[in-house]
Structure 1
Amino acid sequence: MHQPRTALVPLRYLTLPGHGPEDVVADPGGRVLTGVADGRILRIDGLDDPSTARVACVGEIEGRPLGLELLPDGDLLVCDAEGALLRLDPEGGPGTVRVLTESAAGEPLRFCSNVVALPDGTVYFTVSNRVHPLRDWMGDIVEHTGTGRLLRLAPGAREAEVVLDGLQFANGIARGADDAFLVVAETGARRLTRFHLTGPRAGAAEPFVENLPGFPDNLWRAPDGPVWVALAGPRVPPLDLLHRAGPAVRRRAARAALRAPYRPSGTAGVLAVDDHGRTVAHLTRRRSGYRMVTSVCETGGRLVLGSLWEPGIAICEAPAVM
């Protein structure tokens, strides 16, 4: 049963010295970290007042940072969309970026998207697809290639293994209750998938939440909280019909989509689901000035939104979630 929609109430907006804060994560001190298009990792402190907020560059990578994951020691895992999983020390100054892996199952990585780390040091991360690069992400959404992957990097390993294949634009990832499973966003299928880590179904996957009201992007889970899902755009019924067509038709449509100028929808949305896949909050705003919400995190009783499209972050009211 879906929770009724409520208004996504914006409180303030903070322009950043960089474009496209695609993922946002909050540290234990309430500071927010994000990566922008030129490769810098920014840390924002003082969200309550944009006029006095402090933005510091805590690192830089050569590629395009997407998904981020804070580790218990303060280091940051960074998904480089151009083909690597990285580890960065935000307190270490320049030159403190280490490559964890650039390959999976004997082939180079491409389009790394999001990442989580388990307490034993195992890292799971997604590759959105193996056909289209980040700049052509729309092509994969239209073509519906189903080449996304969930990968596992064991502690100390240099190459990742494929644990789940055939995903429709694999994107955000979050840990489930007691680390018994992972939740993976399949943007192109408008669904969340559950991948079991323990128990009799370990290694198996199943639908967790289907027929979402929009395209799920990055996921965020705070301790003892629900899984927050950023909705990068609302459902597009003609796209649902196109996905039922044959591969040749979808390929032609993808080529046409890549030639057309893209402008995101004016509807912004996020939702939260519990460990049973029930929607416990659904917030939307039509004619939003902040578009293409690709990430959401919760800190200090507020929701912080990130966007691949916008030059800053938005701070919104957080609802009471049971």
Structure 2
Amino acid sequence: MKKVLWIPMVLVLALTAYLAFWPVPIQPVAWQAPKFTGLTGAYAENSKLADPATIDLEGGVGPESVTLAPDGKLYMGVIGGNILRLAAVGGAPETFVNTGGRPLGLTVDAQGNLIVADAFKGLLSIAADGKQTVLLRAGADAEVSFPNAVAVSSSGKIYFTDSSRRFPAAYWGSTNEAAMLEVFEQLASGRVMEYDPQTKHVRVVADRLSLPNGIVLSSDETRLLVSESGRYRIWQIAASADRLDLSQPSESARVLLDNLPAYPDNLSRGLNGRIWLGLAGQRNVLDQMADRPFLRQMILRIPRFMWSMPKPFGHVLAFTEDGVVVADLQDPTGQSPTTTGATETAEHLYIHNVDGKGLGWLRRQRFEAGLKP
């Protein structure tokens, strides 16, 4: 009988030791998460994004970022490395190129090259004929670690986010895994960077961001707007800044939007001065564990299938350069893929997502009535 009683005690001790001491890849630190105030005010609950029309990507999954090119076509990267293109008003998608990695942010430079932040391969330039040039390599020992979003100035300089130096996406085999580890750890190892194609010079504009994500230039190109996913905020940073430490106050940077109701992702310029933002996941129990690093380590020791995941919730919004929210579109039905951004054209609003099999869109008449002047 005594031997039988010892068995559950040993199992409990073994489980306790596992949850307390099994090695995990993060070295989490405490931080102060802003108090979540719910879907109120500018983010009041609505269903303006529910039941969008969808373009079937014919096997493509996860159009994480979408850009409208001068040729009138939409370009988007999907899982598996394909960059798809399709007519902005419809038509079947076709494969433009395959990068062999995970293409995320895309834009077009003055020469008509597609500039791509590929999380696995690096910063790429792809000519109209499909020829690919690696501008900066990505990887644990490379020039950049986790390229995510990209913007090009009129001078040709390329600005991009390097989401985590601690967790290179290629090493972890998944952008989601690398991003999750960066957010769990909160060491804020992400950067904003500049690459000059003329001189081949790369420099750090700003450092100490927790999963920097989307990026756009201000209308006068003197400032960068950057979403910091791990801290629920949007920064405004001087494009001329050099190795700016954002953990310290500075006249060269300020928080434009703070305490967002979800994780901010892609940024894209829309019409009439609007900037669109995707919110790619709801606030969750990590807020309550912000000042408890040990609990975040324990969570990583629990099998993923046992994690309690929030219901999918589609959410995109638009704001002005001075931080005024002018549109908020939500899909609370649980049917929406993970919304990572939005691309506005003269007739449609296309909804980026990181895990869906299609590209959602709304006609202008559907969302413009809710736009604030």
Deviation at 1:285, TM superposition (A): 1.2
Q: Which residue of 1 aligns with 2:281?
A: 233
Q: Which residue of 2 aligns with 1:25?
A: 67
Aligned residues of 1:19 and 1:312 also touching (Cα < 8 A): yes
Partner of 2:351: helix, strand, or coil?
strand
For 2:100 and 2:251, locate their aligned partners in 1 and report how far apart those are by CA, in whole Å. Answer: 34
Amino acid in the other structure paired with 1:162 = V
More helix by share: 2
Aligned residues of 1:78 and 1:87 also touching (Cα < 8 A): yes
For 1:62 and 1:3, locate their aligned partners in 2 and report how far apart those are by CA, in whole Å. Answer: 38
Count of aligned pairs between the two proteins: 311
1:79 has 2:125 as partner: no
User: Pick from 154, 164, 171: which aligns with 2:196?
Assistant: 154
Matches of residues 78-117 of structure 1 in structure 2 within 5 Å? 78-89=116-127, 91-93=128-130, 96-102=131-137, 107-117=142-152
Partner of 1:177: helix, strand, or coil?
coil
Q: Which residue of 2 aligns with 1:63?
A: 101
Partner of 2:200: helix, strand, or coil?
coil
For 1:44 and 1:265, locate their aligned partners in 2 and report how far apart those are by CA, in whole Å. Answer: 30
Q: Which residue of 2 aligns with 1:12?
A: 53
For 1:305 and 1:257, locate their aligned partners in 2 and report how far apart those are by CA, in whole Å. Answer: 32
Matches of residues 137-152 of structure 1 in structure 2 within 5 Å? 137-152=179-194
User: Pick from 127, 143, 158: which aligns with 1:123?
Assistant: 158
Deviation at 1:283, TM superposition (A): 0.9
Deviation at 1:234, TM superposition (A): 2.1
CA-based RMSD: 2.6
Aligned residues of 1:139 and 1:255 also touching (Cα < 8 A): no
For 1:40 and 1:211, locate their aligned partners in 2 and report how far apart those are by CA, in whole Å. Answer: 35
Deviation at 1:142, TM superposition (A): 2.3
Partner of 1:150: helix, strand, or coil?
strand
Deviation larger for 251-260 or 35-44: 251-260
For 1:223 and 1:101, locate their aligned partners in 2 and report how far apart those are by CA, in whole Å. Answer: 31
1:271 has 2:301 as partner: no
- What are the ranges of 5 or more consecutive residues in structure 1 without an aligned counterpart? none
Dislocated runs of 4+, deviation >6 Å: none
Aligned residues of 1:171 and 1:187 also touching (Cα < 8 A): yes
Deviation larger for 180-189 or 219-228: 219-228
Deviation at 1:139, TM superposition (A): 2.3
For 1:287 and 1:144, locate their aligned partners in 2 and report how far apart those are by CA, in whole Å. Answer: 31
Deviation at 1:176, TM superposition (A): 1.4
Q: Which residue of 2 aligns with 1:215?
A: 263
Deviation at 1:8, TM superposition (A): 1.6
Aligned residues of 2:61 and 2:355 also touching (Cα < 8 A): yes
Give TM-score scaled by structure 1 length. 0.87
- What are the ranges of 5 or more consecutive residues in structure 2 without an aligned counterpart? 1-40, 170-174, 245-249
More strand by share: 1
Q: Which residue of 2 aligns with 1:313?
A: 359
Deviation at 1:60, TM superposition (A): 1.7
Aligned residues of 1:173 and 1:184 also touching (Cα < 8 A): yes
Aligned residues of 1:265 and 1:291 also touching (Cα < 8 A): no
For 1:244 and 1:47, locate their aligned partners in 2 and report how far apart those are by CA, in whole Å. Answer: 48
Aligned residues of 1:138 and 1:254 also touching (Cα < 8 A): no
Amino acid in the other structure paired with 2:324 = R
